[in-house]
């Protein structure tokens, strides 16, 4: 299996599981690599570290839910942010 195919598989897993706890170890296992090797391959192909990519995808998906009328804190909690301020800071940084 090519690196491109493996990274695509990991990206799909991330999008499908954004509301779950995702960590580097789990992503590396999906790819079939050591954590160190996976980190380097992912960063090379995607341009972001794996966990930064996860955070950015969570922010994108959360932003798409703003118009749903749900409370901001509820959206933040759904995507793994523990506080409203942490969620806001992540958006400001991005």
Looking at residue 33, its pLDDT comes to: 97
For tokens 């839910």, what's the residue?
A: 65
Looking at residue 4, its pLDDT comes to: 94
Looking at residue 66, its pLDDT comes to: 79
pLDDT averages per 10-residue partition of the chain, 94 residues: 94 96 96 97 97 93 82 84 81 80
Looking at residue 27, its pLDDT comes to: 98
Looking at residue 76, its pLDDT comes to: 84
Cα-Cα-Cα-Cα dihedral sign, residues 58, 88, 66, 77: positive
Looking at residue 47, its pLDDT comes to: 97
């Amino acid at each position: 299996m090519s690196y491109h195919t493996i990274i695509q598989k990991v990206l799909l897993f991330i999008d499908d599981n954004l509301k779950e706890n995702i960590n580097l170890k789990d992503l590396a296992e999906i790819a079939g690599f050591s954590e160190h090797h996976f980190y380097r391959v992912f960063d090379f192909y995607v341009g972001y570290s794996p966990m930064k990519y996860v955070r950015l995808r969570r922010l994108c998906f959360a932003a798409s839910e703003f118009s749903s009328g749900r409370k901001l804190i509820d959206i933040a909690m759904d995507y793994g942010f523990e506080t409203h301020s942490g969620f806001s800071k992540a958006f400001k940084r991005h």
